[in-house]
Copies of this chain bind each other. A is one copy, B any other.
Amino acid sequence: MRIGELAARTGLSRDTLRFYERSGLLVGITRPNPANSYKDYAEANVQRLAVVACLKPLGFTLAECREILSVAMTDKGRRRVYAARKLAEVEERIRELEAARDHLREVLRVSASPSSSS
């Protein structure tokens, strides 16, 4: 399929897809017609982009998505390693944010009392 169809089927803009292509997230790109410069994107990219759409909200960068996709179909163990590593990062970030949250609550508690500003 061409980029417009891929965009329609994934909900991503053509520009974003071109950016993802530069980022190495897409595979199976050919130029079947020597008369023009149009590219053909393999069907597999729809699935790959679904994986990216799933991973991105989990905090994976595009580079990490690329790495994961490169082993995703062949190496379950390595895929687990990525997930486990990211899980640790996410848990650490949650702890940091909980500390920030408690700090902000303290700010609000203190600033609610009658006197004392800064």
Contacts of A80 on B, CB cut-off 8 Å?
107-108, 111-112
Asked whether A63 is an interface residue with its Cβ less than 8 Å from the other chain, the reply is no
Give the contacting residue for A117; candidates B76, B93, B107, B112; CB below 8 A.
Answer: B76
- Knowing A59-B100, A90-B97 are in contact, say whether A76-B108 is a contact too (CB < 8 A): no
Asked whether A104 is an interface residue with its Cβ less than 8 Å from the other chain, the reply is yes
| Nearest B-chain residue to A75, judged by Cβ | B117
Cα of A11 to Cα of B79 in the assembled complex, Å? 40
Interchain CB contact under 8 A, A104 and B90? yes
Cα of A108 to Cα of B98 in the assembled complex, Å? 24
Interchain CB contact under 8 A, A101 and B90? yes
Cα of A84 to Cα of B104 in the assembled complex, Å? 8
Asked whether A37 is an interface residue with its Cβ less than 8 Å from the other chain, the reply is no
Contacts of A59 on B, CB cut-off 8 Å?
97, 100
Residues of A within 8 A of B (CB): 57-59, 72-73, 76, 79-80, 83-84, 86-87, 90-91, 93-94, 96-98, 100-101, 103-105, 107-108, 111-112, 117-118
